[in-house]
Homo-oligomer: A and B are copies of this chain.
Amino acid sequence: MSSQPIITATCSAPVNIAVIKYWGKRDTKLILPTNDSLSVTLDQDHLRSVTTARADISFQKGDRLWLNGVEEEIGTEGRLRTCIEECRKVRKGMEAKDGSLAKISGLPLHICSENNFPTAAGLASSASGFAALVATLAALYGLKPTLNSSDLSKFARQGSGSACRSLFGGFVAWQSGTEASGDDSLAIEVAPREHWPTLQALICVVSDAKKGTPSTAGMQRTVATSPLLQHRIKDVVPARMEAMRKAIKDHDFDSFADLTMADSNNFHACALDTAPPIFYMNDVSRAIVQLVEEFNRASVAEGKGKRIAYTYDAGPNAVLYAEEKEMKTILAVIRHYFPNTDFDDTFNLLGAGANASHRGAQEAVPLPTNEVPKGFNENVIPVQEPGAVRRLIHTRVGDGPRVLHTWGDGKGTAGDVKESLLGEDGIPLRLQRAKRA
C-alpha cells in the first residue's frame, strides 16, 4: 500500500456537431482557427466518450494512456501530452499556493478512455475524447472553480480544435480569438440545452468504401490553396455567426436550417476548391441533400417553413436537425428512400418500445404520404440501394461533461464506481476482463 493519496476521477463528455463549420487553422501547434464556429452538443445519454484518470506514485512506468483498450504512446510532445501538462501545470500552481492541497501534480497518471459509439458509426471521436480527458483531469486535480469551462476549453482545443466546444452543453460558440498565444481562442455557451430542448438530431451513417482525406491535413491544404476560403473566413462566417445566434435565441428553426445548410455547403465548396480537391460527400450524401431540399421546398410552399436541416462534417454522413415533433415523419421518409438501415429506436418512434433495435433487412417502409408536405415530389430521388445509409442514430441536444465518479484525496467516493474504467491496480478493467476470459 502506498502512503500517498490515491486519486481517481471519471468523466464523460458529449459529441458536438457544428452548424457553422471550423475549417482551417491560423496556428497549427496551438490549434487556433481561421474563423469562429458554432455547434450543437448532442446528448451523452446516447453518444459519449468516458475517461478515467488516476494519479498514483506506484505507477512506475510513468504516464500511460489506453484508448478503447489499446495503449497509446503519450510521448514527450504532441496533443495528448499538451492537454495533460496544461492541466498538471495548473494543479502544480495551486499546490504551490495552498500548502493544504495534496501534492499529486507530480504523480504518474494512468488514463483510460472509451467511446460508446463504434468507429464504424463514422463519427469523429476526437472532440468528445479530448473533452472527456480535460474534464477528467480537471476533476482529478480539482481545477474548478479556479478555472471555468471556457478556460478548460482552451486545453481541450490543443488536443483537437472542435473538442473545445464539447466542454459545454446546448449551443456553443468557439471564438477564434486574435491573440498569438491563443488565450482568447475558447468556447462559450450561446444557450443551454434547456433553451431549446426540443431540437433533435438524426445521424445518417453513410457507407463509404474509401477513406477520405484526414481533416487535419485537409484543412491546411485548403488554407494553402483555396482562394475561396479567404472569402469564407473574412466575409461569410462573421455574418452567419451573428445570424445563427439570433436564430437560436429566437427558436427560429427556419433560419437555423437555412444557415446550417448554407454553411455546410460553403465548407464543402471550399474543400472542393482545394488543390488537389477534397471530396467528403458522396452520391448518397447528395441524395440526402436533394431529399431534404425537396421536403423543405414543399413545406415552404405550404407556408410551414423549413423543417429539416442537414449538415456534413469531413465525411459522407449526414446529421439532420429537426424539431422533436417532425422526427417521426422524417425517420419514415429516410427509411423509405434508404432501405435496410439499422436503427435503435431511442425515443420509441416506431412503437416497439424505447431502444428497440431494428436491424438490416426490413420490409419496405412506405412513404408517409399523409405526413409529407403537400406537393412533395416523390420522385426527387429514387429509392436507394439497400444499406446505402447503414445506420440511423436518433438523439437530441444535450448537456456538457458530467463527473461520473471521483475517489480519494480525503474526500471519499462520489458518484458510481461502476463508471470507472480503471481497476484498483490502475489497469483498464477491460483488459483485466479480457485476460480472465
The secondary structure that dominates the A interface is: helix
Q: Which residues of B are found within 8 Å of A290, using beta-carbon distances?
A: 276
Q: Which residues of B are found within 8 Å of A235, using beta-carbon distances?
A: 227, 231
Q: Which residue of B lies closest to A208 (CB)?
A: B283
Complex-state Cα separation, A286 to B212, whole angstroms? 12
**Does A191 have its Cβ within 8 Å of any Cβ on chain B?**
no
Interface string of A274-302 (1 = CB under 8 A from B): 11110100110010011001000100000
Contact B266–A227 (Cβ < 8 Å): yes
Complex-state Cα separation, A282 to B284, whole angstroms? 10
Contact A209–B269 (Cβ < 8 Å): no
Q: Which residue of B lies closest to A380 (CB)?
A: B210
Considering only residues 291-317 of chain A, those with a C-beta below 8 Å from chain B are: 293, 297
Complex-state Cα separation, A426 to B259, whole angstroms? 58
Interface size on A, residues (CB 8 A): 33
**Does A262 have its Cβ within 8 Å of any Cβ on chain B?**
yes
Given contacts A227-B236, A265-B274, A265-B275, 7 further A-B contacts (CB under 8 A): A209-B382, A265-B277, A272-B272, A276-B289, A279-B286, A282-B283, A283-B283
Contact B273–A269 (Cβ < 8 Å): yes
Complex-state Cα separation, A235 to B283, whole angstroms? 31
Interface string of A381-411 (1 = CB under 8 A from B): 1100000000000000000000000000000
**Does A9 have its Cβ within 8 Å of any Cβ on chain B?**
no
Q: Which residues of B are found within 8 Å of A275, using beta-carbon distances?
A: 258, 261-262, 265
**Does A430 have its Cβ within 8 Å of any Cβ on chain B?**
no
A212 to chain B minimum Cβ distance, whole angstroms, is 11
Q: Which residues of B are found within 8 Å of A247, using beta-carbon distances?
A: none
**Does A232 have its Cβ within 8 Å of any Cβ on chain B?**
yes
**Does A268 have its Cβ within 8 Å of any Cβ on chain B?**
yes
Q: Which residue of B lies closest to A258 (CB)?
A: B275
The 6 closest A-B pairs by CB, nearest first: A231-B231, A269-B269, A269-B273, A276-B293, A269-B272, A283-B283
**Does A228 have its Cβ within 8 Å of any Cβ on chain B?**
yes
Interface string of A325-343 (1 = CB under 8 A from B): 0000000000000000000
Complex-state Cα separation, A209 to B380, whole angstroms? 12
Q: Which residues of B are found within 8 Å of A173, using beta-carbon distances?
A: none
A285 to chain B minimum Cβ distance, whole angstroms, is 10
Q: Which residues of B are found within 8 Å of A210, using beta-carbon distances?
A: 381
Contact A266–B228 (Cβ < 8 Å): yes
A211 to chain B minimum Cβ distance, whole angstroms, is 12
A265 to chain B minimum Cβ distance, whole angstroms, is 5
Contact B262–A266 (Cβ < 8 Å): no
Complex-state Cα separation, A279 to B265, whole angstroms? 11
Complex-state Cα separation, A293 to B221, whole angstroms? 14
Complex-state Cα separation, A87 to B236, whole angstroms? 45
Contact A273–B277 (Cβ < 8 Å): no
Q: Which residue of B lies closest to A271 (CB)?
A: B269
Complex-state Cα separation, A424 to B282, whole angstroms? 54
Q: Which residues of B are found within 8 Å of A231, using beta-carbon distances?
A: 227-228, 230-231, 235
Interface string of A236-279 (1 = CB under 8 A from B): 10000000000000000000001001100110111011111101
Complex-state Cα separation, A277 to B297, whole angstroms? 13
